[in-house]
Amino acid sequence: MKIAQIKNDLFNWRKLSSGKIVKYISLTVGSVIIICVLAFIFFPDPFVNILLKDRITKAFAETYPAYSIRFGNLHYSVWKNRLECDSIVLNASDSTFTSSAASISVGGISWVKILWKRDFALNDLTSSVIDVQKIILNFRKSQDELSIRMLNISVPDSQMVTDSIKYHSLINDEKFFAKSEFRQTRFRFILPQLKIMGLDYLALLQGNTYSARSIEIHNVFTDVLVNMDKPYDRNSPNPQMPNEFLSSIKDKVKIDSVNIINGSMKYCERFSIGTAPGLITINKAYVSISGISNDKDHPDTTVINAGGLFMKSGIMKLRMVIPLASKHFSLRYSGSLSPMDVTELNSFIEPGENQRIKSGVIQSAAFNINVNSGQASGTLRVLYSDLSVAVLNENTGSEKGVFDRIASFFGKTFIIRKSNIPDKNGLLKIGEIKYSRNPDDYFFQFVWFALRSGVGDVVGF
Protein backbone atom coordinates (compact mmCIF):
# COMPACT_ATOMS: atom_id res chain seq x y z
CA MET A 1 0.00 0.00 0.00
CA LYS A 2 2.82 2.42 0.81
CA ILE A 3 4.51 1.78 -2.55
CA ALA A 4 1.27 2.45 -4.50
CA GLN A 5 0.69 5.60 -2.48
CA ILE A 6 4.20 6.85 -3.26
CA LYS A 7 3.62 6.26 -7.02
CA ASN A 8 0.36 8.14 -6.91
CA ASP A 9 2.05 11.05 -5.12
CA LEU A 10 4.86 11.15 -7.69
CA PHE A 11 2.48 11.39 -10.63
CA ASN A 12 -0.13 13.59 -9.12
CA TRP A 13 0.12 16.63 -11.46
CA ARG A 14 -1.91 18.78 -9.12
CA LYS A 15 0.75 18.52 -6.46
CA LEU A 16 3.59 19.34 -8.92
CA SER A 17 5.02 22.84 -9.02
CA SER A 18 4.66 24.95 -12.18
CA GLY A 19 8.43 24.72 -12.72
CA LYS A 20 8.33 20.95 -12.79
CA ILE A 21 5.38 20.96 -15.20
CA VAL A 22 7.28 23.20 -17.61
CA LYS A 23 10.29 20.99 -17.25
CA TYR A 24 8.33 17.83 -18.08
CA ILE A 25 6.60 19.49 -21.05
CA SER A 26 9.95 20.80 -22.37
CA LEU A 27 11.49 17.36 -22.07
CA THR A 28 8.56 15.82 -23.90
CA VAL A 29 8.54 18.40 -26.72
CA GLY A 30 12.30 18.26 -26.97
CA SER A 31 12.23 14.50 -27.22
CA VAL A 32 9.62 14.66 -29.97
CA ILE A 33 11.66 17.26 -31.86
CA ILE A 34 14.84 15.21 -31.52
CA ILE A 35 13.04 12.11 -32.71
CA CYS A 36 11.63 14.03 -35.70
CA VAL A 37 15.04 15.50 -36.53
CA LEU A 38 16.69 12.10 -36.29
CA ALA A 39 13.94 10.59 -38.39
CA PHE A 40 14.41 13.34 -41.02
CA ILE A 41 18.19 12.86 -41.01
CA PHE A 42 18.15 9.09 -41.34
CA PHE A 43 14.81 8.61 -43.10
CA PRO A 44 14.12 11.87 -45.00
CA ASP A 45 12.38 10.42 -48.06
CA PRO A 46 8.84 10.23 -46.61
CA PHE A 47 9.07 13.87 -45.50
CA VAL A 48 10.28 15.25 -48.84
CA ASN A 49 7.78 13.19 -50.82
CA ILE A 50 4.88 14.37 -48.67
CA LEU A 51 5.88 17.98 -48.02
CA LEU A 52 8.24 19.04 -50.83
CA LYS A 53 7.07 17.31 -54.01
CA ASP A 54 3.64 18.92 -54.02
CA ARG A 55 5.06 22.37 -53.25
CA ILE A 56 7.58 22.20 -56.11
CA THR A 57 4.89 21.01 -58.51
CA LYS A 58 2.54 23.85 -57.59
CA ALA A 59 5.30 26.46 -57.74
CA PHE A 60 6.31 25.28 -61.22
CA ALA A 61 2.71 25.33 -62.44
CA GLU A 62 2.27 28.91 -61.20
CA THR A 63 5.54 30.06 -62.79
CA TYR A 64 5.12 28.20 -66.10
CA PRO A 65 1.37 27.68 -66.66
CA ALA A 66 1.89 26.45 -70.23
CA TYR A 67 3.61 23.30 -68.93
CA SER A 68 2.91 20.48 -66.49
CA ILE A 69 5.50 18.53 -64.54
CA ARG A 70 5.42 15.15 -62.79
CA PHE A 71 8.08 13.79 -60.42
CA GLY A 72 8.98 10.24 -59.47
CA ASN A 73 10.10 9.32 -55.96
CA LEU A 74 12.25 11.92 -54.22
CA HIS A 75 15.33 11.13 -52.14
CA TYR A 76 17.17 13.58 -49.92
CA SER A 77 20.63 13.41 -48.34
CA VAL A 78 21.00 15.71 -45.34
CA TRP A 79 24.78 15.30 -45.25
CA LYS A 80 25.21 16.29 -48.93
CA ASN A 81 22.24 18.66 -48.97
CA ARG A 82 21.21 17.03 -52.24
CA LEU A 83 17.73 16.20 -53.50
CA GLU A 84 17.40 13.41 -56.05
CA CYS A 85 14.47 12.31 -58.17
CA ASP A 86 14.10 8.92 -59.85
CA SER A 87 12.40 10.41 -62.92
CA ILE A 88 10.75 13.56 -64.19
CA VAL A 89 8.26 14.17 -67.01
CA LEU A 90 7.53 17.59 -68.52
CA ASN A 91 4.69 18.15 -70.99
CA ALA A 92 3.46 21.15 -72.95
CA SER A 93 -0.23 21.84 -72.37
CA ASP A 94 -0.82 22.10 -76.14
CA SER A 95 0.80 18.67 -76.65
CA THR A 96 3.45 20.05 -79.00
CA PHE A 97 6.19 18.21 -77.13
CA THR A 98 6.88 15.86 -74.26
CA SER A 99 10.12 15.42 -72.37
CA SER A 100 11.51 13.15 -69.70
CA ALA A 101 14.67 12.51 -67.70
CA ALA A 102 15.82 9.26 -66.15
CA SER A 103 17.13 11.01 -63.04
CA ILE A 104 17.82 14.46 -61.68
CA SER A 105 19.67 15.67 -58.60
CA VAL A 106 19.86 19.16 -57.15
CA GLY A 107 22.32 20.34 -54.50
CA GLY A 108 23.13 23.60 -52.78
CA ILE A 109 19.52 24.62 -52.03
CA SER A 110 18.15 25.29 -48.55
CA TRP A 111 15.15 22.97 -48.68
CA VAL A 112 14.21 23.63 -45.06
CA LYS A 113 13.94 27.33 -45.86
CA ILE A 114 11.70 26.54 -48.84
CA LEU A 115 9.44 24.38 -46.67
CA TRP A 116 8.77 27.29 -44.30
CA LYS A 117 8.13 29.75 -47.12
CA ARG A 118 4.88 30.09 -48.99
CA ASP A 119 6.44 30.43 -52.42
CA PHE A 120 9.50 29.28 -54.35
CA ALA A 121 11.75 32.25 -55.31
CA LEU A 122 14.35 32.10 -58.07
CA ASN A 123 16.94 33.49 -55.64
CA ASP A 124 16.73 30.15 -53.84
CA LEU A 125 18.67 28.67 -56.79
CA THR A 126 21.75 30.91 -56.61
CA SER A 127 23.91 28.18 -55.05
CA SER A 128 22.40 25.19 -56.80
CA VAL A 129 24.19 22.51 -58.81
CA ILE A 130 21.99 20.32 -61.01
CA ASP A 131 22.81 17.00 -62.70
CA VAL A 132 20.38 15.38 -65.14
CA GLN A 133 20.73 12.02 -66.87
CA LYS A 134 19.17 10.74 -70.11
CA ILE A 135 16.99 13.65 -71.23
CA ILE A 136 14.61 12.98 -74.14
CA LEU A 137 12.44 15.59 -75.87
CA ASN A 138 9.88 14.46 -78.42
CA PHE A 139 8.44 17.04 -80.83
CA ARG A 140 5.17 15.44 -81.82
CA LYS A 141 4.25 17.64 -84.76
CA SER A 142 7.54 17.26 -86.63
CA GLN A 143 8.20 13.76 -85.23
CA ASP A 144 11.74 14.74 -84.24
CA GLU A 145 13.64 13.81 -81.11
CA LEU A 146 16.36 15.52 -79.12
CA SER A 147 18.28 13.46 -76.57
CA ILE A 148 21.00 14.44 -74.09
CA ARG A 149 22.93 11.80 -72.19
CA MET A 150 24.13 14.12 -69.41
CA LEU A 151 23.50 17.72 -68.37
CA ASN A 152 25.35 19.55 -65.60
CA ILE A 153 24.31 23.02 -64.48
CA SER A 154 26.33 24.98 -61.94
CA VAL A 155 24.68 28.28 -61.02
CA PRO A 156 27.59 29.50 -58.82
CA ASP A 157 30.04 28.86 -61.68
CA SER A 158 27.63 30.25 -64.33
CA GLN A 159 28.35 27.14 -66.37
CA MET A 160 26.50 24.41 -68.27
CA VAL A 161 28.06 21.25 -69.70
CA THR A 162 26.32 18.61 -71.80
CA ASP A 163 27.43 15.23 -73.05
CA SER A 164 26.20 13.50 -76.23
CA ILE A 165 23.41 15.62 -77.73
CA LYS A 166 21.57 13.99 -80.64
CA TYR A 167 18.85 15.42 -82.86
CA HIS A 168 17.14 13.26 -85.47
CA SER A 169 13.82 12.35 -87.05
CA LEU A 170 11.91 9.45 -85.56
CA ILE A 171 10.91 8.31 -89.07
CA ASN A 172 13.11 7.35 -92.04
CA ASP A 173 13.89 9.72 -94.89
CA GLU A 174 11.23 8.40 -97.27
CA LYS A 175 8.46 8.84 -94.70
CA PHE A 176 9.85 12.23 -93.73
CA PHE A 177 9.68 13.56 -97.29
CA ALA A 178 6.37 11.81 -98.00
CA LYS A 179 4.67 13.94 -95.34
CA SER A 180 4.63 16.91 -97.72
CA GLU A 181 4.08 17.42 -101.43
CA PHE A 182 6.67 20.18 -101.30
CA ARG A 183 10.42 20.32 -100.87
CA GLN A 184 11.70 19.68 -97.35
CA THR A 185 15.05 19.77 -95.56
CA ARG A 186 15.90 17.02 -93.10
CA PHE A 187 18.44 17.76 -90.37
CA ARG A 188 20.38 15.46 -88.09
CA PHE A 189 23.22 16.31 -85.76
CA ILE A 190 25.38 14.68 -83.12
CA LEU A 191 27.11 16.91 -80.60
CA PRO A 192 29.40 14.98 -78.27
CA GLN A 193 30.19 17.93 -76.00
CA LEU A 194 28.80 21.41 -75.40
CA LYS A 195 30.09 23.86 -72.80
CA ILE A 196 28.53 27.25 -71.99
CA MET A 197 30.42 29.62 -69.71
CA GLY A 198 29.34 32.91 -68.16
CA LEU A 199 25.67 31.97 -68.40
CA ASP A 200 23.25 34.23 -66.51
CA TYR A 201 20.91 31.61 -65.07
CA LEU A 202 18.65 33.87 -63.05
CA ALA A 203 17.96 36.13 -66.04
CA LEU A 204 17.35 32.99 -68.11
CA LEU A 205 14.82 31.58 -65.63
CA GLN A 206 13.06 34.91 -65.42
CA GLY A 207 12.68 34.69 -69.17
CA ASN A 208 13.95 38.12 -70.20
CA THR A 209 17.63 37.64 -71.04
CA TYR A 210 19.71 34.94 -72.74
CA SER A 211 23.26 35.96 -71.94
CA ALA A 212 26.52 33.99 -72.03
CA ARG A 213 30.19 34.78 -72.28
CA SER A 214 31.17 31.87 -74.51
CA ILE A 215 29.92 28.61 -76.02
CA GLU A 216 32.29 25.78 -76.98
CA ILE A 217 31.18 22.92 -79.22
CA HIS A 218 33.43 19.93 -79.88
CA ASN A 219 33.30 17.32 -82.67
CA VAL A 220 29.81 18.19 -83.90
CA PHE A 221 28.52 16.22 -86.92
CA THR A 222 25.72 17.69 -89.06
CA ASP A 223 23.80 15.77 -91.73
CA VAL A 224 21.51 17.72 -94.10
CA LEU A 225 19.37 16.21 -96.88
CA VAL A 226 17.14 18.16 -99.33
CA ASN A 227 14.64 16.45 -101.64
CA MET A 228 15.11 18.42 -104.85
CA ASP A 229 12.56 16.24 -106.70
CA LYS A 230 9.68 18.28 -105.22
CA PRO A 231 8.77 21.94 -105.80
CA TYR A 232 9.03 24.83 -103.38
CA ASP A 233 5.99 25.60 -101.28
CA ARG A 234 5.45 29.25 -102.15
CA ASN A 235 2.85 29.64 -99.40
CA SER A 236 4.91 28.28 -96.51
CA PRO A 237 6.73 30.58 -94.10
CA ASN A 238 10.24 31.25 -95.29
CA PRO A 239 13.10 29.83 -93.20
CA GLN A 240 14.43 32.65 -91.08
CA MET A 241 17.80 34.19 -91.78
CA PRO A 242 20.05 35.12 -88.80
CA ASN A 243 18.83 38.73 -88.53
CA GLU A 244 15.19 37.64 -88.85
CA PHE A 245 15.57 34.91 -86.24
CA LEU A 246 17.17 37.17 -83.64
CA SER A 247 14.77 40.05 -84.21
CA SER A 248 11.85 37.65 -83.72
CA ILE A 249 13.05 36.89 -80.17
CA LYS A 250 11.39 39.36 -77.82
CA ASP A 251 13.82 38.67 -74.99
CA LYS A 252 17.34 40.02 -74.98
CA VAL A 253 20.04 37.79 -76.48
CA LYS A 254 23.76 38.44 -76.01
CA ILE A 255 26.51 35.87 -76.61
CA ASP A 256 30.08 37.12 -76.79
CA SER A 257 31.58 34.18 -78.67
CA VAL A 258 30.83 30.72 -80.08
CA ASN A 259 33.61 28.30 -81.03
CA ILE A 260 33.15 25.04 -82.92
CA ILE A 261 36.16 22.73 -82.83
CA ASN A 262 36.76 19.79 -85.18
CA GLY A 263 33.29 19.80 -86.72
CA SER A 264 32.10 17.95 -89.82
CA MET A 265 29.15 18.33 -92.16
CA LYS A 266 27.47 16.24 -94.84
CA TYR A 267 25.18 18.14 -97.20
CA CYS A 268 23.10 16.13 -99.69
CA GLU A 269 20.58 16.89 -102.44
CA ARG A 270 18.31 14.06 -103.56
CA PHE A 271 16.91 14.28 -107.10
CA SER A 272 14.76 11.16 -107.25
CA ILE A 273 13.56 8.43 -104.87
CA GLY A 274 15.92 5.51 -104.50
CA THR A 275 18.94 7.19 -106.11
CA ALA A 276 22.18 8.31 -104.52
CA PRO A 277 22.01 12.00 -103.57
CA GLY A 278 24.56 14.63 -104.49
CA LEU A 279 27.07 14.88 -101.65
CA ILE A 280 29.28 17.66 -100.30
CA THR A 281 31.44 17.14 -97.21
CA ILE A 282 33.44 19.37 -94.91
CA ASN A 283 35.71 17.84 -92.28
CA LYS A 284 38.07 19.09 -89.58
CA ALA A 285 36.05 22.29 -89.48
CA TYR A 286 36.55 25.18 -87.10
CA VAL A 287 34.15 28.06 -86.61
CA SER A 288 34.61 31.20 -84.52
CA ILE A 289 31.63 33.54 -84.08
CA SER A 290 31.67 36.82 -82.17
CA GLY A 291 29.12 39.51 -81.44
CA ILE A 292 25.74 37.73 -81.31
CA SER A 293 23.12 40.17 -80.03
CA ASN A 294 19.62 41.44 -80.81
CA ASP A 295 19.97 44.64 -78.79
CA LYS A 296 18.37 47.31 -81.00
CA ASP A 297 19.70 50.15 -78.86
CA HIS A 298 23.27 48.90 -79.22
CA PRO A 299 23.28 46.92 -82.49
CA ASP A 300 26.10 44.47 -83.02
CA THR A 301 27.69 42.97 -86.11
CA THR A 302 28.40 39.26 -86.08
CA VAL A 303 31.75 38.17 -87.48
CA ILE A 304 32.28 34.53 -88.47
CA ASN A 305 35.66 33.01 -89.30
CA ALA A 306 35.62 29.39 -90.41
CA GLY A 307 37.64 26.79 -92.26
CA GLY A 308 37.86 23.12 -92.97
CA LEU A 309 38.77 20.33 -95.36
CA PHE A 310 36.47 20.56 -98.39
CA MET A 311 35.58 17.23 -100.05
CA LYS A 312 38.57 15.64 -98.27
CA SER A 313 40.87 17.44 -100.71
CA GLY A 314 41.12 21.24 -100.49
CA ILE A 315 41.38 23.57 -97.52
CA MET A 316 38.55 26.12 -97.54
CA LYS A 317 38.50 29.35 -95.52
CA LEU A 318 35.49 31.60 -94.99
CA ARG A 319 34.81 34.98 -93.39
CA MET A 320 31.33 36.45 -92.89
CA VAL A 321 30.12 39.80 -91.59
CA ILE A 322 26.40 39.90 -90.73
CA PRO A 323 24.65 43.07 -89.48
CA LEU A 324 22.13 41.43 -87.16
CA ALA A 325 20.21 44.66 -86.54
CA SER A 326 19.39 44.99 -90.25
CA LYS A 327 15.71 44.65 -91.16
CA HIS A 328 16.70 43.07 -94.46
CA PHE A 329 18.75 39.94 -95.08
CA SER A 330 22.19 41.34 -95.82
CA LEU A 331 25.76 40.19 -95.29
CA ARG A 332 29.25 40.08 -96.78
CA TYR A 333 31.30 36.93 -97.10
CA SER A 334 34.55 35.97 -98.74
CA GLY A 335 36.83 32.98 -98.78
CA SER A 336 39.43 30.88 -100.54
CA LEU A 337 40.18 27.29 -101.56
CA SER A 338 43.60 25.65 -101.77
CA PRO A 339 44.66 23.33 -104.63
CA MET A 340 42.44 20.25 -105.03
CA ASP A 341 41.53 17.49 -107.47
CA VAL A 342 38.30 18.58 -109.16
CA THR A 343 37.12 14.99 -109.65
CA GLU A 344 36.35 14.96 -105.94
CA LEU A 345 33.26 17.03 -106.84
CA ASN A 346 31.73 14.16 -108.84
CA SER A 347 29.83 12.95 -105.80
CA PHE A 348 27.78 16.14 -106.10
CA ILE A 349 28.01 16.95 -109.82
CA GLU A 350 26.91 13.56 -111.20
CA PRO A 351 23.50 13.27 -109.45
CA GLY A 352 22.60 16.94 -109.82
CA GLU A 353 24.04 17.96 -113.19
CA ASN A 354 24.16 14.60 -115.04
CA GLN A 355 27.80 15.30 -115.85
CA ARG A 356 31.04 13.67 -114.79
CA ILE A 357 34.34 15.42 -114.27
CA LYS A 358 36.95 13.14 -115.81
CA SER A 359 39.96 15.28 -114.94
CA GLY A 360 40.91 18.69 -113.64
CA VAL A 361 42.95 20.46 -110.98
CA ILE A 362 42.09 23.65 -109.10
CA GLN A 363 45.22 25.65 -108.43
CA SER A 364 43.50 28.29 -106.29
CA ALA A 365 40.13 29.93 -105.81
CA ALA A 366 38.88 33.07 -104.07
CA PHE A 367 35.45 34.67 -103.88
CA ASN A 368 33.89 37.87 -102.57
CA ILE A 369 30.11 38.16 -102.24
CA ASN A 370 27.76 40.91 -101.07
CA VAL A 371 24.15 40.18 -100.16
CA ASN A 372 21.63 43.00 -100.09
CA SER A 373 17.99 42.19 -99.24
CA GLY A 374 18.43 38.58 -100.34
CA GLN A 375 20.18 39.45 -103.63
CA ALA A 376 23.71 38.03 -103.88
CA SER A 377 26.30 39.51 -106.20
CA GLY A 378 30.04 39.20 -106.41
CA THR A 379 32.97 37.60 -108.15
CA LEU A 380 34.76 34.27 -108.18
CA ARG A 381 38.38 34.00 -109.27
CA VAL A 382 39.33 30.36 -109.80
CA LEU A 383 42.45 29.05 -111.54
CA TYR A 384 42.16 25.51 -112.87
CA SER A 385 43.51 23.36 -115.70
CA ASP A 386 42.87 20.15 -117.67
CA LEU A 387 39.12 20.11 -116.99
CA SER A 388 37.37 17.33 -118.88
CA VAL A 389 33.65 16.73 -118.53
CA ALA A 390 31.39 13.97 -119.88
CA VAL A 391 27.61 14.21 -120.15
CA LEU A 392 25.81 11.26 -118.59
CA ASN A 393 22.67 9.48 -119.68
CA GLU A 394 20.00 10.64 -117.21
CA ASN A 395 18.48 7.16 -116.96
CA THR A 396 21.54 4.90 -117.05
CA GLY A 397 24.22 7.19 -115.69
CA SER A 398 26.50 6.06 -118.53
CA GLU A 399 28.73 8.21 -120.74
CA LYS A 400 29.31 5.50 -123.38
CA GLY A 401 26.33 5.96 -125.73
CA VAL A 402 26.76 7.55 -129.16
CA PHE A 403 24.51 10.48 -128.34
CA ASP A 404 26.19 10.92 -125.00
CA ARG A 405 29.56 11.17 -126.74
CA ILE A 406 28.20 13.76 -129.14
CA ALA A 407 26.70 15.73 -126.25
CA SER A 408 29.98 15.54 -124.34
CA PHE A 409 31.88 16.72 -127.41
CA PHE A 410 29.64 19.76 -127.87
CA GLY A 411 29.72 20.42 -124.14
CA LYS A 412 33.51 20.41 -123.98
CA THR A 413 33.90 22.36 -127.22
CA PHE A 414 31.27 25.06 -126.92
CA ILE A 415 30.25 25.26 -123.24
CA ILE A 416 32.75 23.83 -120.78
CA ARG A 417 35.88 25.91 -120.29
CA LYS A 418 38.74 23.42 -120.17
CA SER A 419 41.20 25.72 -118.39
CA ASN A 420 41.10 29.08 -116.69
CA ILE A 421 44.72 30.15 -116.46
CA PRO A 422 45.89 33.74 -117.04
CA ASP A 423 46.88 34.29 -120.66
CA LYS A 424 49.97 36.18 -121.82
CA ASN A 425 48.20 39.42 -120.90
CA GLY A 426 47.37 38.12 -117.45
CA LEU A 427 43.65 37.85 -118.21
CA LEU A 428 41.32 35.04 -117.17
CA LYS A 429 37.60 34.47 -116.82
CA ILE A 430 36.18 35.99 -113.63
CA GLY A 431 32.97 34.28 -112.53
CA GLU A 432 29.96 36.49 -111.91
CA ILE A 433 27.99 35.58 -108.82
CA LYS A 434 24.33 36.37 -109.16
CA TYR A 435 21.68 34.65 -107.08
CA SER A 436 18.30 35.59 -105.60
CA ARG A 437 17.09 33.98 -102.40
CA ASN A 438 14.48 31.28 -102.96
CA PRO A 439 11.59 31.20 -100.48
CA ASP A 440 12.69 28.00 -98.72
CA ASP A 441 16.46 28.50 -98.77
CA TYR A 442 18.03 27.94 -95.39
CA PHE A 443 20.93 30.21 -94.55
CA PHE A 444 23.78 27.88 -95.50
CA GLN A 445 21.89 26.68 -98.56
CA PHE A 446 21.67 30.28 -99.74
CA VAL A 447 25.38 30.81 -99.10
CA TRP A 448 26.27 27.70 -101.13
CA PHE A 449 23.79 28.34 -103.98
CA ALA A 450 25.12 31.87 -104.45
CA LEU A 451 28.71 30.62 -104.66
CA ARG A 452 27.68 27.82 -107.02
CA SER A 453 26.27 30.37 -109.48
CA GLY A 454 29.78 31.78 -109.87
CA VAL A 455 31.25 28.33 -110.44
CA GLY A 456 28.70 27.73 -113.19
CA ASP A 457 29.56 31.03 -114.84
CA VAL A 458 33.30 30.27 -114.95
CA VAL A 459 33.12 26.61 -115.96
CA GLY A 460 29.99 26.75 -118.10
CA PHE A 461 27.73 24.31 -116.26
In a domain, 430, yes or no: yes
Phi and psi for 250 in degrees, rounded to 5? -70, -35
Tell me what the pLDDT averaged over the chain comes to: 79
In a domain, 336, yes or no: yes
**In this model, does residue 10 exceed pLDDT 90?**
no
In a domain, 323, yes or no: no
Lowest model confidence (mean pLDDT) among 50-54, 57-61, 131-135: 50-54
DSSP-derived pairing of the beta strands 340-341 and 431-436: unpaired
DSSP string, 181-247: SS--EEEEEEEEEEEEES--HHHHHHTSEEEEEEEEEES-EEEEEEETTS---TTSPPPPPHHHHHH
**195-230 pLDDT, tens per residue?**
999 888 777 766 677 888 899 999 999 999 999 888
In a domain, 141, yes or no: no
- The pTM of the full predicted model, rounded to 2 decimals, is 0.75
In a domain, 439, yes or no: yes
Number of domains in the chain: 1
**In this model, does residue 441 exceed pLDDT 70?**
yes
**18-30 pLDDT, tens per residue?**
555 555 555 555 5
In a domain, 368, yes or no: yes
Domain that residue 334 falls in = 328-461
Q: Give CA–CA dist 354/338, Å, rounded.
A: 26
Which is nearest to 267 in space by CA: 253, 278, 283? 278
| C-alpha neighbours within 13 Å on the C-beta side of residue 3 | 0
**277-320 pLDDT, tens per residue?**
999 999 999 999 998 887 777 767 889 999 999 998 899 999 99
Looking at residue 115, its pLDDT comes to 52
In a domain, 191, yes or no: no
**In this model, does residue 424 exceed pLDDT 50?**
yes
In a domain, 244, yes or no: no
**In this model, does residue 402 exceed pLDDT 60?**
no
Lowest model confidence (mean pLDDT) among 119-123, 152-156, 201-205, 284-288: 119-123
Give me the sign of the Cα torsion angle 159, 292, 268, 176: positive
